[in-house]
Amino acid sequence: MPKPRLGVFKFSSCDGCQLSILDAEEELLSLLDKVDLGDFLEASSASSGAPYDLALVEGSVSTQEEVDRIVKIRKDSKMLVALGACATAGGLQALRNWSKLDLFESAVYPEPKVARGLEKALPLTDFVAVDFELRGCPVSKAQLLQFFATVLRGTKPRFPTSAVCFECKRGGTACLVVADGTPCLGPVTASGCGAICPSHGRGCYGCFGPSDDVNLDSLASWLEAHSVDRSTVTLLLKGANSRSTEYRGWLENNG
Amino acid sequence: MARRVVVDTGPLARVEGEGSLTIETRGAEAPDVKLNIFEPPRFFEGLLRGRRAEEVPDMVSRICGICPVAYQVSSLNALEGLFGVEVDEQVKRLRRILYYGEWIESHALHVYMLAAPDFLRVADVLAVAEKHPKMVREVLALKRLGNDLMSTIGGREIHPVSLKIGGIYKAPPKHTLSALVPELARLRGSVEKMVRFVSSLDKPTLERESTMVSLHHPDRYAIDCGEIISNRGLRIQPSAYEENFEEHQVEYSNALHSRTKDGGSYMVGPLARYNLNFDQLNPVAKELAKDLGVTPPLTDPFQSIVVRTLEVVHSLEETAAEIEEYSEPRRCSAAYKVKPGVCFGVSEAPRGILYHSYVVNGRGQVERAKIVPPTSQNQARMEDDVRLLVPTIVKAESNEARRLSEMAVRNYDPCISCATHFLRLDIRNLSPGSPRN
């Protein structure tokens, strides 16, 4: 059986999610040995090009060129995977969606010129169908490897989308909100990171995006009862996953 | 005379982010060399406006997945300076170990996985592994150690979560760092082979005069902070950065070019640090450098790859010493009061000086942010280097011309994701149909 052809592509992003692939040091060589590297520009100057059995896309779509590129990659790929928060929910750069682009331009340009970018930075699903999402800013390396292990065997992995709170409970981390009123998005954030932040004594800031059945009104009032004001909740939700349906919906009504 | 496109790389492989290089010649006229950066800007300086100071380190780390610690530390240097926070000495030590971890990881990635394939005339690290399997396994172990140092202190290697204004959320118990010492010791023993391998690679040469700029710290080979110095006698505090260097736009790139105030290009990064701070390099790395005959003055950018490996040796030795000296801080984090004002912070990212400046208002919100990453400082320099190589490039057959010009760019390990977090949306030269190498 021929090896499945892999494409790894970068859109508007920080490189961190595709770096997670190269960070799988122990597994990297055997992983790359199990695929035909069709395209992975950061890692290789060799390219056998389209079509791809498996395409991993990092980054959000923020220019017309990127729109054209993602449409083409979709056409060329059997399975398209959104890799990380920028691809699944816009990433931090999607915060510009709450302002006028020209405000940012005048803020950072020496000589503002006509902008050719899109007004917004958007997740892949705004343009194409996505077959699977790996959440996180950055993605979890463990999930990434599990993903490869299952997909290369012809099945799809399932990752829990229950809240970070469950990871805290399982890991024996005391609740920071209850203990000292630390603002925390744990109750509305999907698990996957291993509750790193609470285990370091800080509140979750939502890298993995919305969990199942989020109730943001309830979270906001519960945090308010612990002396966390709404503007803090708003800022926390205006992170890497602000363009997710759930966070965005609440922010539009309350932000 | 007709213009002749000598090299057009299309999207460059084995760099972080999206860019391409074109060289055009026209008779005896100066060749036209352009590093086109079409990575879309993400407007971080704009996004930071109105955010609370304490959110800044986590936000700026998202500018770059390869050097998030550099972004966090430069921003902390700025904001802690403004708020007058005294960070515990053991916390500073943890931040340095975290930073050494980033240097080790980033340099190992660049030297062996992104750059070495050029020197060996192959496409990627897989092909390198076919020829040198043992060495590549050792390199991956080295990269793993860098990542382990980062995740032990930072919670994870990409976008660590532990640093905060005033200190660190949680200090690791000594035994978790001590657990890394056996592997650290093993790699301190085996790294010399990896350095010698890189040193023995057949390299092009480019001898040239350069303005080199780096940080300098009285107590150590500068990494986490320092004043800014150059080989032209510059010695300034970070607050004077913008009086001495300026950025300007070029039409074909989404990243700004930095120049000295008199208009010259300059170099930041490993080669600059090495030339300016060689005396402070760890003795183990220094002895090895002497043995290899690569002591300063070292002006050839093709030697950068060797210097990176020597900086890895340095980082391993310094990390071992820092872990030895580490004891859990009495106070993880110092209390502070937000103050309004303007502040400046610098540190030595793996690729060179990373400058941050913020204006904070009375409510503790960012009113203005300015960030100058190493790659935008090196951009003009990269083009200058390629320009100097044009006489050789035009004589070479096309694959070799392309290899040589790409190597001249990769000497600087450009991080295009970093360099384009700001600028305008002029996207050029992105031809989806163009061949990808």
Using one digit for the tens of pLDDT, what is the confidence trace for A32-69?
889 999 999 989 888 888 999 999 999 999 989 999 99
Query: Which residues in chain A have Cβ-Cβ distances shorter than 8 Å to B17?
Result: 10, 15
Asked, as a colleague might, if the bond just before B350 is cis with ω within 30 of 0, I would say no
Q: What is the pTM of this model?
A: 0.95
Phi-psi group of B66: left, alpha or beta (phi > 0 → left; psi -120 to 50 → alpha; rest → beta): alpha
Could you give the C-alpha distances from B271 to B104, B210, B373, in angstroms and in order? 16, 10, 16
The verdict on A20 touching B (C-beta cutoff 8 Å) is yes
For residue B46, give Cα distances in angstroms to A117, B62, B356.
Answer: 15, 14, 14
Q: Which fold has domain B53-415?
A: Cytochrome-c3 Hydrogenase; chain B (1.10.645)
Let me know if A181 is exposed, middle or buried by CB neighbors in 10 A (0-12, 13-18, 19+): middle
Band (A117; pLDDT cuts 50, 70, 90) = low
pLDDT score of B1: 55
Kindly report the number of other CB atoms within 10 A of residue B197's CB atom. 17
Residue type at position B404: L
The pLDDT of residue B81: 98
Decide if pLDDT at A124 tops 90: yes
Q: Are B11 and B436 in contact (CB under 8 A)?
A: yes
Residue B42, pLDDT score: 84
CB contact, 8 Å: B436 with chain A?
A: yes
> Which chain B positions have a beta carbon within 8 Å of A17's beta carbon?
65
The pLDDT of residue B88 is: 98
Which of A246, A6, A12, A19 lies closest to A139, judged by CA? A19
Share of chain A above pLDDT 90, in %: 79
- Which amino acid is present at A93? Q
The pLDDT score that the predictor gives to residue B422 is 43
In order of B36, B129, B254, B257, B323, the CA distances from B260 in angstroms are: 21, 42, 20, 10, 39
Q: How much is the pLDDT for B256?
A: 76
Mutate to test the interface with A, among B14, B51, B114, B158 (most CBs of A within 10 A): B158
The tokens for A75 are 């056409």
Biggest alpha carbon–alpha carbon distance for chain B: 72
Q: Where are the domains of chain B?
A: 53-415
Which chain A residue's Cα is nearest to B109? A22
Pair B65, B143: CB distance under 8 Å: no
Distance CA A217, CA A219 (A): 5
> Counting one residue from A and one from B, how many pairs have CB atoms under 8 Å apart?
194
B30 to chain A, closest Cα gap in Å: 27
A24 contacts A144 by C-beta, under 8 angstroms: yes
Q: Comparing C-alpha atoms, which of B292, B218, B10 is closest to residue A45?
A: B10
Considering only CA atoms, which of B379, B434, B433, B371 is closest in space to residue B411?
A: B379
Contact B216, B222 (CB under 8 A): yes
For testing the chain A interface, which of B42, B111, B367 should be mutated: the one with the most A CBs within 10 Å? Answer: B42
Residues 323-362 of B with CB under 8 A from A: none
Contact A72 B161 (CB under 8 A): no
Give Cα A244 to chain centroid, integer Å.
10
The confidence score (pLDDT) of residue B263 equals 82
Q: Where are the alpha helices (DSSP H) in B84-180?
A: 89-108, 116-119, 125-131, 133-154, 174-178
Cβ of B41 under 8 Å from any chain A Cβ?
yes
How far does Cα A93 stand from its chain's mean position? 12
DSSP state string for B247-263? EE--TT-SSPEEEETTS
AA letter at B298: L
Interface probe, candidates A143, A197, A200, chain B, greatest B C-beta count within 10 A: A200
Rounded CA-CA distance A176/A160 in Å is 22
Percent of chain A with pLDDT over 70: 93
Residues 219-248 of B with CB under 8 A from A: 247-248
Q: Which residues of chain A are within 8 Å of residue B18 when distances are taken between CB atoms?
A: 10, 41
pLDDT by 10s per residue, chain B, length 437:
567 888 888 888 888 888 888 898 887 777 888 888 778 888 898 899 999 999 999 999 999 999 999 999 999 999 999 999 999 999 999 999 999 999 999 999 999 999 999 999 999 999 999 999 999 999 999 999 999 999 999 999 999 999 999 999 999 999 999 999 999 999 999 999 999 999 999 999 998 888 999 999 999 999 999 999 999 999 999 999 999 998 877 777 777 788 888 888 999 999 999 999 999 999 999 999 999 999 999 999 999 999 999 999 999 999 999 999 999 999 999 999 999 999 999 999 999 999 999 999 999 999 999 999 999 899 889 999 999 999 898 888 888 988 999 999 999 998 877 776 443 322 222 233 333 32
CA dist B422 and B394 (Å) reads: 34
Mutant choice from A11, A33, A44, A114 vs B, greatest count of B C-beta within 10 A: A44
Whether A241 has its CB under 8 Å from any CB of chain B: the answer is no
Q: Which helix (H) or strand (E) holds B243?
A: helix B241-244
**Smallest CA–CA separation between A96 and chain B, in Å?**
7
Question: Is the pLDDT at A118 greater than 80, yes or no?
Answer: no
CA distance B363 to chain A (A): 13
pLDDT surpasses 50 at A231: yes
Among A33, A43, A235, beta carbon nearest to B51: A235
Closest CA to B35 of B11, B5, B16: B11
Going B294 to B296 to B302 to B305, the CA torsion angle's sign is positive
| Residues in chain A closer than 8 A to B59 (CB atoms) | 92
* Domains of chain A from N-terminus onward: 5-151 (3.40.50.700), 164-254 (no CATH)
Is the peptide bond preceding residue A110 cis, with omega within 30 degrees of 0? Answer: no
Using a CB-CB cut-off of 8 Å, the residues of chain A touching B430 are 65
The pLDDT of A102-107, averaged and rounded, is 57
Whether B417 sits inside 8 A of A15 (CB atoms) is: yes
SS3 content of chain A, % helix, strand, coil (to 5): 45, 20, 40
**Digit-coded pLDDT (tens) for A83-96:** 999 999 999 999 98
pLDDT at B28: 73
Taking an 8 Å cut-off on Cβ atoms, the answer to whether A69 and B432 are in contact is yes
Residues of B in Cβ contact (< 8 Å) with A66: 40
Give the CA radius of gyration of chain A. 19
Distance between CA atoms of residues B104 and B247, nearest Å: 29
* Residue listed under structure tokens 């610098």: B346
Give B101's DSSP letter.
Answer: H
The answer for B 106-135 residues in CB contact with A (under 8 A) is 109, 113-114, 117, 123-127, 129
Report CB contact under 8 Å: A15, B117: no
Residues of chain A in contact with residue B14, where contact means CB-CB under 8 angstroms, are 41-45
Report yes or no: B12 and B406 within 8 Å, Cβ to Cβ. yes
- Between B97 and A106, name the one with better pLDDT: B97
List for chain B the helix, strand, coil content (%; round to 5).
Answer: 45, 15, 35
Burial class of A112 by CB neighbour count within 10 A (0 to 12, 13 to 18, 19+): middle
